Amino acid sequence: MDEEDCGRSADLKRPGLWKRILKRVGLLLFTLLCLGFTFIAWTNVAAVLAGAGKLYNDPERLPDDGVMLVFGCDDRIDGRENLYFRYRIDAAAEVWKAGKARCVIVSGDNRTKYYNEPERMRQALIEKGVPGDKIICDYAGLRTLDSVVRAKEIFGVEKVVFISQQFQNERAAYLAKANGIAEYTGYNARDVEGQGGMKTRLREVGARVKMWLDVKVLGTRPRHLGEMVPLPE
């Protein structure tokens, strides 16, 4: 072992050296953890701010003549009724009966002929008294981002009313603002309580991180676009 290697070996054996190294590594990890939590918190707050003053629990407070955009989900989960589906349909029917919308877009996933969220929403709304000729299906609403952007670019919507639970309406508000939809509001459907609701709210934290990255970093676009589709008169 030459003299330089002997010096390095001696340095590593000095009292307290490893302790100082571990302390610095710990401080670095703590700093990164704090930055990560701050980033996650900011992405979640950004959605809240986008929806501030734009989301309502009373349909009478909504502006007139908007186009409802109802976000899709499956009507059943493991053979049981999906309350998210029921409450969104109830909310859309309330807005329609209040005379605040001129037509409805039901936007969801239609991945196979056996899985068709928009058609199930359409049938449920008809049963609630919404005229079938005022409902149009968007079969390519694979994500909230797809539904919002397609409402503008495919269906030509300029004045939109989001229909979903508040957490999704806030995220939709952020996406609408980022994609140049100036006139957006939302009507908050009843939320789901219990274990199922808690799991959804936990997933929403990650969904908002993805929302921010899609807009600010990745420039994500809908998976499917296409030609313009006219809305019902």
Dump pLDDT digits (tens) for 81-131: 999 999 999 999 999 999 999 999 999 999 887 889 999 999 999 999 999
Q: Give the residue-averaged pLDDT of 202-223.
A: 95
Stretch 199-219: mean pLDDT: 94
Structure confidence at residue 49 (pLDDT): 96
Q: Is 197 in contact with 167 (CB distance < 8 Å)?
A: no
The per-residue pLDDT for 160 is: 97
Asked whether residue 231 is assigned to any structural domain, the reply reads no
Residue 38 covered by a domain: no
Burial 90-100 (b: 16+ CB within 10 A, else e): ebbbbbbeeeb
- The reply to whether 118 falls in a domain is yes
pLDDT for 13: 56
The mean pLDDT value for 69-92 works out to 94
Token pair for residue 64? 């007139």
Selected residue with higher pLDDT from 1 and 164: 164
- The whole-chain average pLDDT of the chain stands at 90
Of residues 78 and 161, the one with the higher pLDDT is 161
32 has pLDDT over 90? no
Which pLDDT value is given to residue 9?
53
Does residue 35 lie within any of the structural domains?
A: no
Gap between the Cα atoms of 161 and 189, Å rounded: 12
The residues facing 67 across adjacent strands are 103, 160
Total domains in the chain come to 1
Tokens encoding 102: 């001129």
Asked if residue 67 is part of any domain, the answer here is: yes
Which residues form the domain of 76? 50-218
Residue 111: the pLDDT is: 80
The share of the chain scoring above pLDDT 70, in percent, equals 94
Q: What is the CATH number of the domain that holds 136?
A: 3.40.50.620
Residue with more model confidence, 192 or 29? 192
pLDDT attached to residue 131: 97
Stretch 35-58: mean pLDDT? 91
- Any domain includes 226: no
Give the residue from 90, 57, 93, 95 showing the smallest Cα distance to 75. Answer: 90
Q: Which residues pair with 54 in a beta bridge?
A: none
Provide the 3-class DSSP secondary structure of residue 55: strand
142: in domain: yes
pLDDT band at 197 (very low <50, low <70, confident <90, very high): confident
Q: Would you say residue 36 has pLDDT above 80?
A: no
The confidence score (pLDDT) of residue 165 equals: 97
Rounded CA separation 2/9 (Å):
11
